């Protein structure tokens, strides 16, 4: 009987310790949910389908509208000129940039901060062109797709948008990050999202090393 009396309190303490540990893990938000059907991983134990769908929808919109966006002659100059004409050095055509920004804004997926930073890229590009005049070869800084960070045919990754695994990291009530990998592009992306008036928008897109 003495052995039983000694063991029972120890068992109770062990169970309480495990329960406290589980409770602390729940409070710390370290649980990762995994949806094996949609291949979605959600950090912090939240339902992040809205964030993931935003990212997917934007990529699909971009692939569908990329030819329209490329029609804006945001970069002028270059060696491709008519016969008997002198090639111009590269320069930024800001009137076309404004049209390009307006078209991006129409998507309804991007924050004002994103659009502001996108325009800033052209401002910095113009500064570079003035400091480094050139008219041959691809214009520096504008020789790859701005959203998929590649010169390859990223459109071929369209079927993989729904197949990819999305890892979501909630950064408070109004900020979130979505990471994913596209196999044809061979790039891991991080979308930084911001919630404005109860709706998520894309605030930044960048490439990262790992999920």
Maximum Cα–Cα distance across the chain: 108
One DSSP character per residue, 23-70 reads: HHHHHHT--EEEETTTTEEEETT---HHHHHHHHHHHHHHHHHHHHHH
Kindly state the DSSP code that residue 22 receives in the 8-state scheme. Answer: H
- Which parts of the chain register pLDDT below 50? 1-39, 44-45
pLDDT at 126: 98
Over the stretch 23-41, which tens digit does the pLDDT of each residue have?
A: 444 343 322 333 333 445 5
Backbone φ, ψ for residue 64 (5° rounding) = -70, -35
Cα–Cα dist 201/42, whole Å: 18
Over the stretch 132-144, which tens digit does the pLDDT of each residue have?
A: 999 999 999 999 9
pLDDT at 29: 33
pLDDT at 47: 65
Structural domains of the chain in order of their starting residue, each with its CATH number: 33-208 (3.10.450.50)
């Amino acid at each position: 009987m003495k052995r039983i009396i000694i063991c029972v309190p120890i068992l109770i303490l062990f169970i309480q310790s495990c329960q406290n540990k589980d409770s602390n893990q729940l409070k710390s938000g370290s649980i990762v949910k995994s949806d094996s059907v949609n291949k979605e991983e959600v950090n912090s134990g939240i339902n992040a389908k809205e964030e993931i769908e935003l990212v997917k929808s934007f990529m699909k919109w971009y692939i569908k509208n990329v030819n329209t966006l490329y029609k804006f002659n945001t970069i002028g100059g270059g060696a491709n000129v008519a016969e008997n004409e002198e090639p111009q050095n590269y320069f930024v055509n800001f009137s076309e940039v404004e049209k390009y920004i307006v078209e991006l804004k129409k998507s309804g997926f991007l924050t004002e901060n994103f659009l502001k930073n996108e325009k800033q890229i052209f401002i910095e590009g113009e500064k570079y062109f003035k400091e480094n005049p050139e008219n041959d070869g691809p214009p520096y800084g504008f020789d790859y797709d701005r959203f998929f960070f590649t010169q390859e045919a990223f459109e071929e990754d369209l079927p993989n948008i729904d197949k990819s695994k999305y890892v979501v990291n909630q950064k408070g009530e109004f900020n979130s990050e979505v990471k994913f990998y596209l196999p044809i592009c061979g790039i891991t992306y991080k979308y930084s999202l911001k919630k404005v008036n109860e709706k998520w928008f894309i605030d930044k897109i960048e490439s990262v090393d790992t999920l």
